[in-house]
């Protein structure tokens, strides 16, 4: 029996090497080569031939461009990070630790969009040409859409998603659910139902039959994300991809995945706290310096309209070692409390920090010593 040929693929840039190397020869990243089974070159031409469509060359002055239309998700904090709402044909990648609340937030957002779309249709009546909440380049009849939202789950069954929706209080939710991990069937469902927004939970579980590697591998993630992105741009369906994160906190999979999508969001939070932060790392349709603050409750995630209240301690009188500063996150000023404890630590004291980079702490102490005359070398 012939031995399968293996190659080593870089997890950062997607480059390949016939043997393992400590440093990637393409992007010079260290310890990023992962062993995988080499794909046959014959079907590769057919696989990528459909992606190589040509277009006419035009000048920038002749291209008609207007501001993109946004549809609010019903969650102000999420809309703030997205730049105002969901964009038609946009692809959003959201990553976070397991159990942080990614699926919960997206299910709540889909239910809000679905209810908003149904309310719009009921108020406008059933005339031909009704559009989904994200609009569209051309009029579509309501029957052609088959529903405004679609939740594709690859990690749970439909019954588990339904149980979660009932726990969140989303009774009578009309969000369509598809339990599938095969890319070709997902694309066929998107083409048949033409939802306004679709969530893929998660991209690491989706696989294509044209590749022999296992789901979650570099080749599978890159291939499936490329086809889903092309489907979103061609049909106008907004697609949200849920991604896993590594133990270092970065999105799992090839770094080229972040270059394919339009928006990259990180869901952060402490497992011992009920508060969650969502931050935009990349956004082609808005700013990347906005953050959204959520609180995990029994009925799901709720937006926190006054984040300063959660970063301040309640003291009846001033206490030593604590000060309040004002910082600007995007367009929203926030009050943050900083606490410091200084103690004599002998000839070589340790400098520890929580929530602040250690090198930045050393720089601040050096500035205090040089310009403010505060010596902390023995503290």
**Among 376, 331, 327, 251, residue whose Cα is nearest residue 81:** 331
Give the per-residue pLDDT at 180: 94
Q: Which whole-number Å values give the CA distances from 181 to 187, 190, 193, in the listed order?
A: 11, 13, 17
pLDDT digits (tens, 9 = 90+) for 34-60: 887 776 544 444 444 444 456 688 898
3-state secondary structure of 232: helix
Give the per-residue pLDDT at 46: 47
Phi, psi of 324 (to 5 degrees): -115, 130
At 327, which helix (H) or strand (E)? strand 322-329
Query: What is residue 130's DSSP assignment?
Result: -
pLDDT at residue 261 greater than cutoff 90: yes
Residue 36 near residue 218, CB atoms below 8 Å: yes
Q: How far apart are CA 181 and CA 208, in angstroms?
A: 9
Q: What percent of the chain has pLDDT over 90?
A: 37
pLDDT digits (tens, 9 = 90+) for 202-211: 899 999 998 8
Q: How far apart are CA 27 and CA 134, in angstroms?
A: 38
Average pLDDT over every residue of 340-354: 84
Number of helices and strands in the chain (H, E):
9, 16
pLDDT tier for residue 144 given thresholds of 50, 70 and 90:
very low
pLDDT at residue 296 greater than cutoff 70: yes
Q: How far apart are CA 155 and CA 236, in angstroms?
A: 26
Q: What pTM, to 2 d.p., does this model score?
A: 0.78
End-to-end CA distance of the chain, in Å?
68
pLDDT digits (tens, 9 = 90+) for 74-98: 899 999 999 889 999 999 999 988 8
**Among 327, 330, 368, 331, residue whose Cα is nearest residue 351:** 368
Average pLDDT over every residue of 303-316: 81
pLDDT tier for residue 242 given thresholds of 50, 70 and 90:
very high
pLDDT tier for residue 290 given thresholds of 50, 70 and 90:
confident
pLDDT at residue 292 greater than cutoff 70: yes
3-state secondary structure of 220: helix
Q: How far apart are CA 310 and CA 293, in angstroms?
A: 10
Q: What percent of the chain has pLDDT over 70?
A: 87
pLDDT tier for residue 4 given thresholds of 50, 70 and 90:
low
**Among 326, 330, 324, 353, residue whose Cα is nearest residue 278:** 330
């Amino acid at each position: 029996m012939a031995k399968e040929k293996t190659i080593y693929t870089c997890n950062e840039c997607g480059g390949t090497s016939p043997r393992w190397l400590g440093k990637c020869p393409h992007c010079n990243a260290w310890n990023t080569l992962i062993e995988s089974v080499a794909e046959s070159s014959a079907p590769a031409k057919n696989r990528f031939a459909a992606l190589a469509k040509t277009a006419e060359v035009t000048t920038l002055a002749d291209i008609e461009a207007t501001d993109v239309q946004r549809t609010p998700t019903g969650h102000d904090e999420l809309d703030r990070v997205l730049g105002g709402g969901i964009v038609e044909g946009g692809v959003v990648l959201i990553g976070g630790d397991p159990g942080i609340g990614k699926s919960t937030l997206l299910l709540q957002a889909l239910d809000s969009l679905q209810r908003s779309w149904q309310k719009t249709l009921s108020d406008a009546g059933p005339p031909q040409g009704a559009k989904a909440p994200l609009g569209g380049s051309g009029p579509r009849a309501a029957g052609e859409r088959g529903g405004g939202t679609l939740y594709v789950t690859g990690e749970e069954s439909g019954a588990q998603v339904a149980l979660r929706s009932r726990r969140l209080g989303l009774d009578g939710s009309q969000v369509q659910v598809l339990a599938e991990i095969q890319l070709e069937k997902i694309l066929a469902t998107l083409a048949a139902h033409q939802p306004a927004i679709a969530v893929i939970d998660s991209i690491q579980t989706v696989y294509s039959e044209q590749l022999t590697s296992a789901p979650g591998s570099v080749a599978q993630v890159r291939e499936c994300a490329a086809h889903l992105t092309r489907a979103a741009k061609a049909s106008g369906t907004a697609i949200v991809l849920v991604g896993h994160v590594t133990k270092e906190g970065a999105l799992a999979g090839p770094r080229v995945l972040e270059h394919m999508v339009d928006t990259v969001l990180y869901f952060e939070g402490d497992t011992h706290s009920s508060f969650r932060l969502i931050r935009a790392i990349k956004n082609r349709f808005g700013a990347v310096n906005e953050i959204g603050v959520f609180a995990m409750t029994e009925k799901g995630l709720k937006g926190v309209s006054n984040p300063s209240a959660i970063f301040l301690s309640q003291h009846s009188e001033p206490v030593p070692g604590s000060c309040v500063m004002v910082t600007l996150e995007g367009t929203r000023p926030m009050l943050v409390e900083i606490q410091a404890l200084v103690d004599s630590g002998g000839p070589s004291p340790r400098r520890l920090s929580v929530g602040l980079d250690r090198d930045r702490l050393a720089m601040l102490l050096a500035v205090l010593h040089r310009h403010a005359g505060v010596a902390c070398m023995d503290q």
